[in-house]
Amino acid sequence: MEGKRASERASQGPKENTPDISDILSPKKFVTVVSRVGSDVAGFVCDRDEAGILLDVRDPSGDPEGYQFLPWSSIERVSIRG
């Protein structure tokens, strides 16, 4: 039964107002990045360019830990809250 519900939701298409990549990775968005070596980094996007993404990294309590640059080649997945 769950498979049928999932296929019904999938056939409805994406939600309205789906963001594009430039919006998702714009400065001040909070993201969690999973790198290819399996570590998670969470923080606010500071900047991005063709080389990678710069994050204002936060620990699990939300306290700042500094900045981290992640080259695109090291990124496996980016999750966005909201």
pLDDT on residue 6: 57
Whether residue 20 lies inside any domain: the answer is no
Number of folded domains in the chain?
Answer: 1
* Domain around 34: 26-82
Q: Give residue-wise pLDDT tens across range 23-64.
A: 778 888 999 999 888 889 999 999 999 999 999 999 989 899
Contact 56, 70 (CB under 8 A): no
Amino acid at 54: L
CATH number for the domain spanning 58: value is 2.30.30.100
DSSP summary character for residue 20: P
Which pLDDT score is estimated for 46? 95
Inside any domain, residue 3: no
Residue 72 has pLDDT above 60, yes or no: yes
Residue 78 lies in a domain: yes
User: Would residue 66 count as lying in a domain?
Assistant: yes
Q: Is residue 60 included in any domain, yes or no? A: yes
The model's pTM: 0.72
Please indicate, yes or no, if residue 18 is contained in any of the structural domains: no
